[in-house]
Structure 1
Amino acid sequence: MNQAGKPADSPSGRGDAATGRFEAAARRAGVKVRELREIAEFEQVVELYDGIWETEPGHAPINVELLIAFAHSGNYVSGAFGDGGLVGASVGFFAAPSGRALHSHVTGCARGRGIGFALKLHQRAWALTRGLGVISWTYDPLVRRNAHFNLTKLGARPERYLESFYGAMGDAINAGDESDRLLAVWPLDDPRVEAACSGAARPVAVPGGAVVALAEEDGRPARGSMDGRTLLVGTPRDIETLRPRDPATARAWRHAVRDVLGGLLEDGAQVTGFTAGGHYIVERS
Structure 2
Amino acid sequence: MATEGGQVSEPVVRELRDVEDMEDVRLLFDRIWGPDPGGAAVTVELLRALAHSGNYVAGAYQGGTLVGASVGFLGRPAGEVLHSHITGAASGRGIGLALKLHQREWALRHGLARITWTFDPLVRRNAHFNLAKLGARPEEYLTSFYGPMDDAINAGDESDRLLAVWRLAEAHPAVAVPAGTPMALGVRDGLPVAGAVDGAGTVLVALPEDIEGMRRRDPGAAKAWRHALREVLGGLMVAGGRVTGFHDKSYYVVERGAL
Task: Give the corresponding residue for 1:43.
Answer: 23
Secondary structure of 1:191's counterpart equals coil
**What is the aligned-residue RMSD (CA, Å)?**
1.6
Gaps of 5+ in 1: 1-27, 193-200
The answer to whether the 8 A contact 1:29-1:118 is kept is no
- 2:4 aligns with none
Of 242, 245, 249, which aligns to 1:270? 242
Q: What SS class does the counterpart of residue 33 from structure 1 fall into?
A: strand
What does residue range 1-285 of structure 1 map to in structure 2 within 5 Å? 30-192=10-172, 205-227=176-198, 228-285=200-257
Any unmatched runs of 5+ in structure 2? Answer: 1-7
Corresponding residue of 1:4 = none
Mapped partners of 2:108, 2:96: distance in 1 = 18
The structural deviation recorded for 1:210 is: 1.5
- Asked if the contact 1:90/1:107 (under 8 Å) is kept, the reply is yes
| CA deviation vs aligned residue, 1:189-244 (integer Å, no higher than 9, x gap) | 0022xxxxxxxx76x55334421011111111111113221111111110111101
Per-residue deviation, residues 228-285 of structure 1 (Å, max 9, x unmatched): 2111111111011110110000000000000000000001100011112511000013
Q: Distance in 2 between matches of 1:158 and 1:172?
A: 25
Contact in 2 for aligned 1:242/1:249 (Cα 8 Å):
yes
SS in structure 1 opposite 2:196?
coil
Return the offset for 1:58: 4.5
CA distance in 2 between counterparts of 1:231 and 1:143 reads 19
Identity between Structure 1 and Structure 2 (%)? 61
CA distance in 2, matches of 1:240, 1:254: 12
* TM norm structure 1: 0.84
TM superposition shift of 1:29: 5.9
After TM superposition, the score normalised by the length of structure 2 is 0.93
Displacement after TM superposition at 1:59 (Å) = 4.0
CA distance in 2, matches of 1:30, 1:243: 33
What is the alpha-carbon distance in structure 2 between the residues aligned to residue 280 and residue 59 of structure 1? 34
Return closer, same or farther for 1:69/1:89 CA change in 2, 3 Å cut-off.
same
Letter in 1 for 2:86: V
Q: Structure 1: how far apart are the matches of 2:131 and 2:178?
A: 16
Report the number of matched residues.
250
**Contact between 2:107 and 2:113, CA under 8 Å: does it hold in 1?**
yes
CA distance in 2, matches of 1:191, 1:174: 32
The one-letter amino acid of 1:267's match is: A
Q: Which has the higher helix share?
A: 1
Distance 1:58 1:249 in 2: 31
Cα distance in 2 for partners of 1:222, 1:36 equals 46
CA distance in 1, matches of 2:29, 2:65: 14
- Letter paired with 1:235: L
Deviates more, 1:241-250 or 1:273-282: 273-282
Between the aligned partners of 1:119 and 1:207, the Cα distance in structure 2 is: 34
One-letter code aligned to 2:231: D
Query: Contact 2:11–2:94 (CA<8 Å) still a contact in 1?
Result: no
Contact 1:29 1:113 in 2 (8 A): no
Q: Which one-letter code corresponds to 1:148 in the other structure?
A: H
Displacement of 1:84 in angstroms is 3.3
